[in-house]
Amino acid sequence: MKDILEAPFLKEICKTASNMYRQGWDERNGGNISVRLDKKDLAPYLNVRDVIRTIPTKFDAKAIAGQYYIVTGTGKYFKNVEDDPETNLGIFRISDSGTEAELLWGYKDGGRFTSELPAHLMSHIARQAVDPESRVIIHTHPTNTISMNTVCPVDEDDFTHRLWQINTEAIVVFPDGVGMLPWMVCGTTAIGEATAEKMKKYRIVIWTNHGIYGAGKDLDETFGLIETVEKTAQIYMLTEGHKRLNLITDKQLKDIADYFGVTPKAGILK
Ligand code: 13P
Ligand code: ZN
């Protein structure tokens, strides 16, 4: 068996956790990452028949039974993931019943997957139905996006428009807009179901006064998507309280969309 610490998928999730920490998005144990893996990518590093222990998922994940995931642990600090992956990460398979995670590696200190697993796995189910290539869900606490929640209405079309108007790149990177949930208790099956419902339409879902969920094909794409939303939110917050003299008009937004060949979410541009 090859050394799993050398596996490209492991190095990449470690690097992503460190980058997110350095962005200031993931204080303490804030945020969590899940990546769907292929059995063939795991096979050189693990015997997938060797289950260390099983952990109840506490909801029905039968739709993705047999799938493999690498997921950050609950209570674990992103700043520590890279130095000690085996404690801060776990690799598991969803059992045939869909009610257990079969741990194959990690959570070395007896830990378990993130408390946000329902929102992650339900989002994976929703995104795979839209795009079979979808592999990554990232949840994080980006400062400016959360700051916008304190000064903007909880209205996803209005929020999307505010972002598009302030940064040219925004409509190109997320023409589908951002989905939004009102404030809810986190970690619950209910917020998981609400997030997954939004994920049928959006790759970004904002949890009011909490953070963001992003979905994508790989870690780079998903990180880049969140990074663009957060950068745009930063511009919004830096200009909040100032007279905004130059906003991108709806006509200009349509011109950008036409030039880049993207279709903006209907009903936002006048
Ligand atoms: P976990 O430590 O359980 O991953 O939770 C962090 C978090 O961001 C909760 O929303
Ligand atoms: Zn959170």
pLDDT tens for each residue of 75-100: 999 999 999 999 999 999 999 999 99
pLDDT given for residue 105 in this prediction: 98
Q: Which ligand neighbours the alpha carbon of 31 most closely?
A: 1
* Residue pair 35/73 in contact by the 8 Å Cβ criterion: no
pLDDT given for residue 191 in this prediction: 97
pLDDT given for residue 108 in this prediction: 98
pLDDT given for residue 242 in this prediction: 98
pLDDT given for residue 6 in this prediction: 98
Query: Which ligand 1 atom sits closest to the C-alpha of 29?
Result: 2
pLDDT given for residue 168 in this prediction: 98
Closest residue CA from atom 6 of ligand 1: 30
Query: Which one of the listed residues 116, 133, 156, 221 is annotated catalytic?
Result: 116
* Residue pair 160/204 in contact by the 8 Å Cβ criterion: no
Name which of 63, 229, 97 is nearest 156 in CA terms: 229
Residue 240 known to be catalytic: no
Distance 115 CA to ligand 1 centre (A): 6
Distance 185 CA to ligand 1 centre (A): 12
pLDDT given for residue 106 in this prediction: 98
Pairing mode of beta strands 53-56, 100-106: antiparallel
Contacting residues for 65 by C-beta, under 8 A, at least 6 apart:
94, 95, 96, 97, 98
Query: Which ligand 1 atom sits closest to the C-alpha of 26?
Result: 8
Distance 32 CA to ligand 1 centre (A): 6
Name which of 70, 191, 202, 214 is nearest 142 in CA terms: 214
**Residues in the chain where the model's pLDDT stays below 50:** none
Determine if residue 76 is left, alpha or beta; phi over 0 gives left, psi from -120 to 50 gives alpha, anything else beta: beta
| Max CA separation in the chain (angstroms) | 62
